[in-house]
C-alpha cells in the first residue's frame, strides 16, 4: 500500500523516526534481534556494530533515531583496542 500525497516521509531523526529511514550505509551496521521466549509477545531489539568502519564517533542519526532509542537495550560508547 502506497503513501498518500499529503503524508510526509518517515524522518531518519527526531520524533517518529524509524530505522528504515536511515541511509543504507548505516542500516548495514544495524541488526534486528527477535527474542522469542514468549511467542505471543516477541521482543524486538537492535544490535549495532560500528567496529568495521573504524569510526571515531557514533553517527548522529543512530542516537537521535526514536525507534533505536526505544529498542536499543544497552549502549556502550567505548571502542575495542
The whole-angstrom separation of Cα 45 and Cα 26 is: 16
29 belongs to a structural domain:
yes
Please tell me the predicted confidence (pLDDT) of residue 74.
61
43 belongs to a structural domain:
yes
Please tell me the predicted confidence (pLDDT) of residue 80.
43
47 belongs to a structural domain:
yes
25 belongs to a structural domain:
yes
Helix (H), strand (E) at residue 35: strand 30-35
40 belongs to a structural domain:
yes
7 belongs to a structural domain:
no
Domain residues for the domain of 55 are 19-71
Q: What is the mean pLDDT of each run of 10 residues along the chain (81 residues)?
A: 72 89 88 78 77 70 85 58 39
- Domain total of the chain: 1
44 belongs to a structural domain:
yes
3 belongs to a structural domain:
no
Residue pair 10/20 in contact by the 8 Å Cβ criterion: yes
Amino acid at each position: 500500500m502506497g503513501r498518500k500525497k499529503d503524508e510526509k516521509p518517515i524522518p531518519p531523526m527526531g520524533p517518529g523516526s524509524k530505522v528504515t529511514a536511515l541511509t543504507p550505509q548505516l542500516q548495514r551496521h544495524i541488526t534486528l534481534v527477535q527474542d522469542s521466549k514468549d511467542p505471543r509477545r516477541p521482543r524486538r531489539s537492535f544490535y549495532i556494530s560500528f567496529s568495521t568502519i573504524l569510526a571515531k564517533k557514533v553517527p548522529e542519526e543512530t542516537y537521535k533515531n526514536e525507534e533505536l532509542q526505544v529498542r536499543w537495550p544497552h549502549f556502550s560508547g567505548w571502542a575495542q583496542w
